[in-house]
Amino acid sequence: MHDTISINQLKPGMFVVQVSKQSGSVKIKNQGWVKTQTAIDKLKKVGVQEIIIDPDKTLQRKKPSKEAQPKPTSTESAKPQSSDPWASSVSVESELNKAQRLYSEAKQLQSKAFKDIKAGRKIDVGPFKDVAKGFMDSVFRNQDALACLTRLREKDAYLMEHSINVSILMTIFAKHLRLDTDTIHELATGALLHDIGKIKIPDEILHKPGRLTEQEFAVIKDHARFSKEILEQSGLTGIAVDIAGFHHERIDGTGYPFGKKAEEISQYVRMASIVDVYDALTAERVYKEGMTPIQAFKILKDGVPNSFDGELLNRFIQCIGVHPVGTLVKLTNHKVGVVSRSNPNDPLKPQVKTFYNAKHAHYTQVEDIDLTRARANEELEAAVKPELFNIDLMRFFKHSLMP
């Protein structure tokens, strides 16, 4: 499997399959390993902008001796141990407790930040960076743990949970795009704070249980501008600020509040706009039911190419899965369960933990089913909602998944 990356992401040891985009006219050898930073600098100099690499052929650089080996930085410690973005170093069950503590910490942090802003105080972005780092480490250990938690929604906690979920999903997305860890950390931090400006929107508009008027929508559009200002005043720069300020911009220029378009919108902001809309569409709100992931993906697809980047959307769907981890599904034999692990090779056959019988309306003993090896009557029928069967999904998670 080949990946297209920008020249700025090219590292010594990567195998270049071909140059996919350049501003110059110099002919460049198609395939081979780039072994030095000097070689990369020469490619930049002749106008190479994007290349296609084969990540499986990346050369592993020799480690320095133990005495000479520097201590890893906070972001280096989070580097995945495998070139396979689906690889996990721990089980989902063993990671869930850590993931739940991180999620709770993030909610408390959001609540404190809202109070600080209302009181006219600057927010301290340091703890947000720490939580974002925690998300990154957890995702590298096993992305399914935090992914599960993004599917457990509280209808009256959307403002806090949405930003947390976007941060988690952005981290997973960036990991699958094989972005460097410093960039992933910035993306996770920016996503965690991307809607912080909503605290400056009047409550009667922000929490209105229904369609906004044209005047009300004009007010709420400014939340992205407020988010950008708050982060800038708090000392953040770069990617994190761009995500906060521009996540509602659209490729055709119809977004808000700045009306940016096309190449004015970076890859990172394009990623954030996809994840932001996906989580908003699948969220349970007091005044509306959340969509299934498949329904949300269809709406996002309808927004290509005017609103969303089609290539990035396809990569997002691929890494999240047609039936994302944490999705409640019903099998053809009436068993109901939660997707516990995606299957990138066959998205319609994930691993499922069943715990309920829809035909007889009662809980059953938890059973792990790998649908690639399941019996003939055990096929995934559809994603379902807990309310349809009076299922307490949180109860299932606490009693059947938490170690």
Residue 35 has pLDDT above 80, yes or no: no
Beta bridge partners of 357: 335, 362
Please give the share of the chain, as a percent, with pLDDT higher than 70.
89
- pLDDT at position 34, please? 78
The whole-number average pLDDT for the span 366-383 is 89
Q: Which residue has the higher pLDDT, 130 or 207?
A: 130
Q: 3-state secondary structure string, the chain? A: CCEEEEHHHCCCCCEEEEEEEECCCCCCCCCEECCCHHHHHHHHHCCEEEEEECHHHCCCCCCCCCCCCCCCCCCHHHCCCCCCCCCCCCCHHHHHHHHHHHHHHHHHHHHHHHHHHHCCCCCCCHHHHHHHHHHHHHHHHHHHHHHHHCCCCCCCCHHHHHHHHHHHHHHHHHHHCCCCHHHHHHHHHHHHCCCHHHHHCCHHHHCCCCCCCHHHHHHHCCHHHHHHHHHHHCCCCCHHHHHHHHCCCCCCCCCCCCCCCHHHCCHHHHHHHHHHHHHHHHCCECCECCCCHHHHHHHHHHCCCCCCCHHHHHHHHHHHCCCCCCCEEEECCCEEEEEEECCCCCCCCCEEEEEEECCCCEEEEEEEEECCCCCCCCCEEEECCHHHHCCCHHHHHHHHHCC
- pLDDT at position 401, please? 63
pLDDT tens-digit profile of 290-345?
898 999 999 999 999 999 999 999 999 999 999 999 899 999 999 999 998 888 88
What rounded mean pLDDT belongs to the chain? Answer: 87
How many Cβ atoms are within 10 Å of 298's Cβ, its own excluded?
Answer: 12
Q: Which helix (H) or strand (E) holds 50?
A: strand 48-53
DSSP assigned state of 62 = P
Q: Which of 32-36, 64-68, 230-234, 387-391 has the highest mean pLDDT?
A: 230-234
Tell me the chain's radius of gyration from C-alpha atoms.
22
Residue 67 has pLDDT above 50, yes or no: no
Q: Report the alpha-carbon distance of residue 275 to residue 177 in Å, rounded.
A: 14
Residue 32 has pLDDT above 80, yes or no: no
pTM score: 0.77
Residue 73 has pLDDT above 80, yes or no: no
Beta bridge partners of 338: 328, 353
pLDDT tens-digit profile of 89-118?
888 888 988 999 999 999 999 999 999 998
Q: Which residue has the higher pLDDT, 230 or 12?
A: 230
The whole-number average pLDDT for the span 390-396 is 75
User: By C-alpha distance, which of 385, 322, 335, 340 is closest to 149?
Assistant: 340
Residue 247 has pLDDT above 70, yes or no: yes
Out of 69-78, 155-164, 310-319, pick the least confident: 69-78
- pLDDT at position 61, please? 46
- pLDDT at position 257, please? 97
- pLDDT at position 83, please? 64
Q: Which residue has the higher pLDDT, 196 or 78?
A: 196
The owner of tokens 């009300």 is: 216
The whole-number average pLDDT for the span 132-144 is 96
Structure-block tokens of residue 202: 């009047």
Residue 41 has pLDDT above 60, yes or no: yes
- pLDDT at position 398, please? 62
- pLDDT at position 81, please? 42
The whole-number average pLDDT for the span 131-148 is 95
Residue 263 has pLDDT above 90, yes or no: yes
Q: How confident is the model at residue 403 (pLDDT cuts 50, 70, 90)?
A: low
Contact indicator for 196, 117 with CB cutoff of 8 Å = yes
Residue 74 has pLDDT above 60, yes or no: no
Q: Report the alpha-carbon distance of residue 44 to residue 7 in Å, rounded.
A: 7
Q: Report the alpha-carbon distance of residue 59 to residue 35 in Å, rounded.
A: 9
- pLDDT at position 348, please? 86
Residue 192 has pLDDT above 70, yes or no: yes
Q: Is 19 helix (H, G, I), strand (E, B) or coil?
A: strand
What is the spatial order of strands in the sheet that 15-22 belongs to? 3-6, 48-53, 15-22, 32-33
Q: Report the alpha-carbon distance of residue 337 to residue 396 in Å, rounded.
A: 10
User: By C-alpha distance, which of 223, 247, 249 is closest to 307?
Assistant: 249
Contact indicator for 188, 132 with CB cutoff of 8 Å = yes
